[in-house]
A and B are shown apart, each in its own frame.
Chain A
Amino acid sequence: MNAPELHELFTLPQGKNKVEYEEDSRIEFAGTFTVHLEDHTLGNIIRMQLLQDDRVRFAGYKAPHPLEQRIQVKIQTDGQISPHEALMNSLESLKITFKGLQDQFEKQAKSI
């Protein structure tokens, strides 16, 4: 009866952007990114990638509710870079990782 609508899986909630940022009111160089329509698939890899950056002091993610299609990524840096840059860098290196793996995989699949 109170099941979420199917379209909520694919369409952004009204008036929301795909990625939203809220600066932390108490801590310097810290903030929370809310990414709509994503889940643990991306949340976990982004967090693990952020943690590999020495300039990132804290990185964590949560999916606040299993029926709400959004995740929150909280980042605190040491001030050398902003949370934005930290997130950008980690997304870029993840992209490179996956691209590299895909190229390797396709090359092998073709030769078999």
Chain B
Amino acid sequence: MSEVYRGRAPNIEINKITREKIKFTLSGVDSSVANSLRRVMIAEVPTMAIDVVHIHTNTSSLHDEFIAHRLGLIPLISENQDNYDFPRDCKCTGHCEHCAVQFRLKVKNQEGGVLDVTSRDLRHLSQQGNDVRPADSDGPILILKLRKNQEIDITCNARKGIGKEHAKWSPVATAVFKYTPDIYLNQQRLESQFTAEERKEIVNSCPVGVYKLNEESNIEVVKLNKCMFCEECMRKGEMIITRSASALLNVHDNVVRVSQLKDRFIFKVESSGALKPESIVSKAFTILTKKLDDIKQLIPPLINTR
């Protein structure tokens, strides 16, 4: 059970953004806040995904539901998802331009050999909805392969949904956070009681390369955030000390100590391609705020009816 947090003001700092990934540090909040942010990014940020599939012809070697499932998993660019309604909220029966984007996949292999059917073969059925298209700028996404005279003809609807209902609507591939590592090195003892060889042993004990030996052959922390709390370095330090002193070691006597700062969270979020990583995070905040607001709006009537 985490302790109640009373401390610094909430703060967020972006460390790195690329096209598909974002790293940021959230600090000054309790772990529950970090966890809700993570949970909302995974399960409650809406995107568009193919949801209803009509198969008119399928003479390929894959059966219908198999293809339908694969179509569903294709990430669709959903930056404009605010323009669409959830099918359950839409006034129409069936589908309309406010809640669905229609695609057609019609391919026949007439030339022989093996023909790849990819996300690039998906065509919009109407002019509008062109903003929702497969996120395949890194190369076409393979759906199935056709041999000579095999044919598929499919129409499908992309609809808005959330990851809670089906993981295909989740905008993230990874959304994780960890505590910030805090590494203490007793440099004085490392210098006086350890040989250069032993210091090198500690440096090499780290599987992710957190440490480096500097010019004076002293240990230096170079990649703090890589630390994954395996404590190999602590074990190594302990081993070296007990090798010479042969005594049970108190943790605080160790020359290397790894601990966690429990109010600083390092987040790593990778997008599926449906949304830009920074919009996933900021949408998650919007959704959380809205949820809290909804509940708040619904409490007052309770007081009156008591």
Contact = CB atoms under 8 A, between A and B. Distances in A.
A78 interface: no
A88 B298 CA distance: 10
B127 interface: no
A91 B296 contact: yes
A1 interface: no
Given A21-B302, A84-B303, A109-B17, A45 B295 contact: no
Contacts of B282: 102, 105-106, 109
Interface stretch (B23-31, B74-82, B176-184): B23-31
Interface residues of B, number: 45
Contacts of A7: 88
A57 interface: no
A52 B32 CA distance: 13
Interface in B105-124: none
B248 interface: no
Contacts of B260: none
A98 B164 CA distance: 22
Interface string B1-38: 01011100111111001000000101001101101100
A100 B10 contact: yes
A47 B32 contact: yes
B298 A19 contact: yes
B295 A35 contact: yes
A41 B40 contact: yes
A36 to B, nearest CB: 10
Contacts, number: 116
B138 interface: no
Contacts of A20: 302
B216 interface: no
A97 B28 CA distance: 10
B286 to A, nearest CB: 7
A19 B302 contact: yes
B12 A104 contact: yes
A101 B14 contact: no
B289 A51 contact: no
Interface in A76-112: 82, 84, 87-88, 91-92, 94-95, 97-102, 104-106, 108-109, 112
B293 interface: yes
A77 B294 CA distance: 23
A100 B3 CA distance: 23
Given A41-B44, A48-B32, 9 more contacts: A35-B295, A44-B36, A45-B32, A48-B4, A95-B289, A98-B289, A99-B285, A105-B285, A106-B282
Q: 5 tightest CB-CB pairs across the interface, nearest first?
A: A102-B285, A109-B278, A44-B32, A48-B32, A19-B298
16 contacts: A19-B295, A41-B39, A48-B33, A51-B4, A52-B4, A84-B299, A87-B299, A95-B292, A95-B293, A100-B9, A102-B282, A105-B14, A105-B285, A109-B14, A109-B17, A112-B14
